[in-house]
Chain A
Amino acid sequence: ETGVTQSPTHLIKTRGQQVTLRCSSQSGHNTVSWYQQALGQGPQFIFQYYREEENGRGNFPPRFSGLQFPNYSSELNVNALELDDSALYLCASSLLRQGGNGNYGYTFGSGTRLTVV
């Protein structure tokens, strides 16, 4: 088991810029989800990808977008960065249950700490 890996670990961007965060899923997992965790809060769901398509989205604007690749790695892209986008961004991979009615427990990466100045 290789676990979930994310890159970079830390990033500083200027307001208005664009950023791409990367994630490699745990071996054998077929879904990738992204979460935003502000300081002192629980993670907030951004979106989930399965078979390279978005199949669930939280309350985030369209400037948050993603990609999932055939090898189940994933990207999170954020355009027009705002100061409030500063947070820890977490990637989680999981195995979608047979019948598609739920995921077996998420495995999280260590996250990317994004600071927007």
Chain B
Amino acid sequence: GQQLNQSPQSMFIQEGEDVSMNCTSSSIFNTWLWYKQDPGEGPVLLIALYKAGELTSNGRLTAQFGITRKDSFLNISASIPSDVGIYFCAGQPSYNFNKFYFGSGTKLNVKP
């Protein structure tokens, strides 16, 4: 079945540093979503991308839909302690518009 490869698996950074994580797939996707999940909560949508090459920002977060339509990245600038959590990418393949596949998550730890 379809797999999304999300990396890195975990990150330990200092407050104020920038962060970058990415997802790649073996299939062409028509939508990429990025979520943050805190313990015991559901994922919260951060950024949605619908076109190849699209670059979208949400405050200190920036995400891009790769031009090959097989990858996406999320950047967080000037990290703060409340950025701690697990970040998931999710993609909707072009051959199936009714489901999203999720990456395995990037666990972000921020040291004050």
B-contacting residues of A (Cβ < 8 Å)? 4, 6, 33, 35, 41-45, 48, 50, 55-56, 58-59, 90, 100-111, 113
Contact = CB atoms under 8 A, between A and B. Distances in A.
Per CB-CB distance, the 6 closest pairs between chain A and chain B, nearest first, are A56-B98, A42-B102, A108-B42, A105-B48, A45-B99, A110-B42
A106 B45 contact: yes
Interface string B27-45: 0001101010000111111
Given A42-B103, A42-B105, A103 B42 contact: no
Nearest to A105: B48
Contacts of B101: 45
B102 A102 contact: no
Interface in B16-67: 30-31, 33, 35, 40-45, 48, 50
B97 A102 contact: yes
B88 interface: yes
B97 A108 contact: no
Contact of A109 (B33, B42, B50, B99): B42
B78 to A, nearest CB: 25
Contact of A90 (B6, B33, B42, B105): B42
A48 B98 contact: yes
A58 B93 CA distance: 13
A102 B100 CA distance: 10
Contacts of B96: 56
B79 interface: no
Contacts of B100: 33, 45, 103, 106
Contact of B42 (A41, A100, A111): A111
